[in-house]
Chain A
């Protein structure tokens, strides 16, 4: 019993250690538009950051590398855009619909893919995502190559006009911080601990009486749902749902953000998303060089920088303290 109480106390301590940096991040983001940073850029980065955090929940804490996470981003984007534009519902209903659609897709794909692990899992998720891409390419409601354009932002709860840039900005920020806090909570919950145990040693966890497949499936569904939330927000912010968000390059991008920021760290994916979003903004005029530089960062990260930015910083910090 003492051991259980101790581990619970340790979890609580580690969770509380996240509180200060989270509040600092929230405050910094809240004042950022007044510091002269382009709000649309931050909103884009926040959508990617949420996407990467959701992905990291599966890879960093569940040990499952999904190479098809774009399907959840894109599915939610299409459903949200369709709901907001064709059905004329308020944005929060559209976002909930999109997120739920990704959650359902996640349950189906998860039940199928967790049958295999490691490299197979990566290949299967990639292949299923490619199937979804072809489906969206042909389905009439997505308008193929054009995508769903001119999605109305609408009035949040029928009251707040999201066409106002700052209203949109703070909506995105609030959703992001809430989802981020939820992810931190999941990671530090008993569920998150079992997930980590499965990542480290699955047979042993099974022998302790945990149904590993159930935990992995739940992690997959949570990750898919939160990735969907990111896609739904993105569709409302940019008033667009397009094929880019379901293509395999997007799946690769989220892997890169997580890897660069530090997989298995809490803040890593956020840092990685901001770096990649900044890079894309900065290099937008250089055409193919974005792809080339993305690839080079991949190679450098894998060869020399596997802990990522946040992981390296944490290692440096703990080395300095001891």
Chain B
């Protein structure tokens, strides 16, 4: 029983990261029509930023949670302004290829500098320890990650679906030319949206730093799983991305308990089944 709840917890944690990453991908895709292949690399950069701040500048976890997304987000904005913006008129596949190349460059540079072994990152002192729930032991940091990512995801959902800014964003997703004609600066909105999506990846990276080792390739395989999550959920809805993210994390955790051999492939198998039954994804709309 203990092991089952343990795997469930790990599943929820993984699900929290799937949700945050697929949310960022979905937000970027909605407005830019680009699948951001650098998302995994940017998640890794977020974790490295936190490591740097702590070990080189003595800046702790809480400030890192603010500064790392800011820094990585600015890098994202520079990428969007200097490179991605030249590709909007072309086939969207070029955006995928460009970001794939950038991911290789970024991961290669980090590996060159830090090798491929992981660097440890301390859990902040306020969140160490755990609670004994009777049926299992719950480390506080892990509970914090689940709660924090839920809050971030729901806040993002709220901003996009319930505020005026979000309504501009949704309108620009539907018809950018018309929205621009109403006097809204769409190119700037695109830039900031990309920056925001990238910052979300960096937040996930900072939160992941104490759990997984900080490693140049920590995002490389993860991003492919997140792609599968995005295909399963469909790109249509924000809430869909969050639900599928957490849901698939839990399914993966359960698989690890009941049939460990399949735990690394279960999400891909679900993707195949979803493609057979609902090609547009669980929450997607056929476009």
Contact = CB atoms under 8 A, between A and B. Distances in A.
A130 B268 contact: yes
A291 B104 contact: yes
A276 to B, nearest CB: 13
Contacts of A112: 272, 275-276
Interface magnitude class on chain B? 35 or more
A18 interface: no
Interface string A285-322: 00111111011111101110010000000000000000
A254 to B, nearest CB: 12
A255 B271 contact: no
A295 B268 contact: no
B111 interface: yes
B60 interface: no
A126 interface: yes
Interface string B259-287: 00100110011011001100100000000
B93 A134 contact: no
Interface residues of A, number: 41
A306 B94 contact: yes
Interface stretch (A114-122, A176-184, A188-196): A114-122
B151 interface: no
A292 B108 contact: yes
B26 to A, nearest CB: 12
B99 to A, nearest CB: 9
A252 B92 CA distance: 17
B230 interface: yes
B104 A292 contact: yes
B227 interface: yes
Given A119-B92, A124-B231, A131-B265, A292 B224 contact: no
Nearest to A299: B101
A302 B95 CA distance: 8
B109 interface: yes
Interface in A70-102: none
B66 interface: no
A116 B279 contact: yes
A272 B64 CA distance: 43
Interface of B: 29, 33-35, 83, 86-87, 90, 92-94, 96-98, 100-109, 111-112, 221, 224-225, 227-228, 230-231, 261, 264-265, 268-269, 271-272, 275-276, 279
15 contacts: A118-B93, A123-B35, A126-B224, A128-B271, A130-B224, A131-B265, A131-B272, A288-B112, A289-B112, A291-B108, A292-B105, A295-B102, A298-B97, A298-B102, A299-B101
